[in-house]
Every structure is written in structure tokens, then in C-alpha cells.
Amino acid sequence: MQVKPMGRVVRKKGEQGQAMAETAIFAVLAVITIFGILALIPFHRTRTAAISATYACAQFLSQSPDPSKATYNARKLAQEILDGDWSATFGAEYQIRVYPPAGRGMPGRCEVQWSAPVLFSGLLGINSGAPTSQVFVSRSEAWKARWP
């Protein structure tokens, strides 16, 4: 850059528009990063709801003395947690499986398969993929040992 006597600044030909180009590149990268972070929110909330439902189901299953009633109530409890307003998982798909204890003192199992909605999938051509599974095993002997 040279300064002429009249106060005019003369720039080299290659420096014109450099700041505008850098700003445009930064703006595009910032928008992509923001959309990427927003796309992770439904995945995280769906996963959190599935973990909560699976844990509550397994805990309820281990604390009930009647396996048939425990299976029904554990499934109902897990479904209520997944349908709760707090979860805010619109568009998520869940499948609940409850495996009651096979015998006295045996562990039971609760499984929730979930798949979260993928934001901007039409824009990027992304498929939602296979459902993910969350499993908790109930340890009924740990709870029943404390019964009077």
C-alpha cells in the first residue's frame, strides 16, 4: 500500500475484496456449524429419554414380587416416561421390550430401541439409519434381599 501526496491510498490490485471474501467464508462455516449443533439436539434428547425409560423399567421390574404384574407395569412406566412432555422428542420412534425374570432370583431385562429424527435430512440426503438400542438388566436379588 502506498500513500500519495494528496492523501489518496493506492492499493495493489490483488488486495481488493480480500476482507469480503474472508467474511463470506467465515459466515458460511459459522452457519454450517450452527446447523450441525442444532441437528444433534433431537438425537441427544431422544437418547436421554430412552436411557431414563429403560432404567426406570428395569428398576421397577426388579422391585416387584409378581413377574406378570411387574412386566405390565414396567412397560407402562417406560411408555409414560417416553410420552412425557419434558422429553420433547417429537418424531422419535421407540420400541419397548420387557423380559421378566425367568425364575426366582434371576435377573430381568428391559430394552428400548429408539431412532431419532435427522434434521435437514432432505437437504443433505441423509437416511435416519438403523435404530439404536439401550438395555438395562434388573438385579432383583439386590432389591429382594432387603425385603423384610
Question: What is the DSSP-derived secondary structure letter of residue 13?
Answer: G
Q: Of 85, 87, 83, 94, nearest to 116 (Cα)?
A: 94
Q: Which residue has the higher pLDDT, 140 or 27?
A: 27
- Average confidence (pLDDT) over 109-128: 75
Cell triple for residue 75? 412397560
pLDDT band, very low/low/confident/very high, at 136 (cuts 50, 70, 90): confident
Q: Per-residue pLDDT for 106 more than 90?
A: no
**Total-model pTM:** 0.69
Bridge partner list, 2: 10
**Per residue in 15-73, pLDDT tens?**
667 888 899 999 999 999 998 888 788 888 888 888 888 888 888 887 777 777 888 88
